[in-house]
Amino acid sequence: MIKAILIFNNHGKPRLSKFYEHYSEDTEQQIIRETFHLVSKRDENVCNFLEGGILIGGSDNKLIYRHYATLYFVFCVDSSESELGILDLIQVFVETLDKCFENVCELDLIFHVDKVHNILGEMVMGGMVLETNMNEIITQVDSQNKMEKSEYPVTAQGFIPRASCSKLAGLMLKEPLLSVSYVWPSVIPVTFEQLSSHIYIN
């Protein structure tokens, strides 16, 4: 089970928080702060796992995170999840964001946290992994957006002009770990479209 998903930036500002167990707002903020404190003091080239689930639940829990440009993506999971699988899931998540926002950067997450939630909702549901196939996720997100557009053309224009975020590095520019995929390894970095044909043979 995934207990929580947190996204915050290099300064600890929350960009998205999703708790799959109930906590009061204060506790949530405290968890975010402490998680940031733990994660941010780690070097770039250390492992992406952190033990000590004092924050959420018992010692069964682990923090699994990835750092992209200005953002940390942190998943708090228990032992039923595969560590490497979650790392790949984070990668899928970020790549999906990248596709949906066209070269995603922190500003996209700042201004469209609702959209990020919608995308996440197609991947993880109630703390369990719902879908890992990026194409499938994007298809569902797109057709829901289409539906929204048909209902309310106004809301669909929410994207801010690209110019305003040109100064910020896109998250995927660094692509630090794209070539390291634990669930679907390959010699050459592959796109997930190619991978998906491997995933579902039946």
Binding site for other proteins (CB under 8 A): 1, 14, 16-18, 20, 22, 24-26, 28-29, 43, 45-51, 80, 82-85, 87-88, 110-114, 117-118, 121, 125-133, 136, 140, 143-144, 147-148, 151-152, 154-155, 158, 160, 180, 182-185, 198-202
Q: How far apart are CA 19 and CA 6, in angstroms?
A: 8
Helix (H) or strand (E) holding 5: strand 2-9
Helix (H) or strand (E) holding 34: helix 25-40
Give the shortest CB-154-to-other proteins separation in angstroms: 5
Give the shortest CB-153-to-other proteins separation in angstroms: 8
Angle between helix 134-151 and 192-199 (nearest 10): 110
Output 103 or 196, the one with its CB closest to other proteins: 196
Give the shortest CB-101-to-other proteins separation in angstroms: 14
Q: How far apart are CA 16 and CA 109, in angstroms?
A: 8
Main-chain dihedrals φ then ψ at residue 131, nearest 5 degrees: -150, 140
Give the shortest CB-122-to-other proteins separation in angstroms: 8
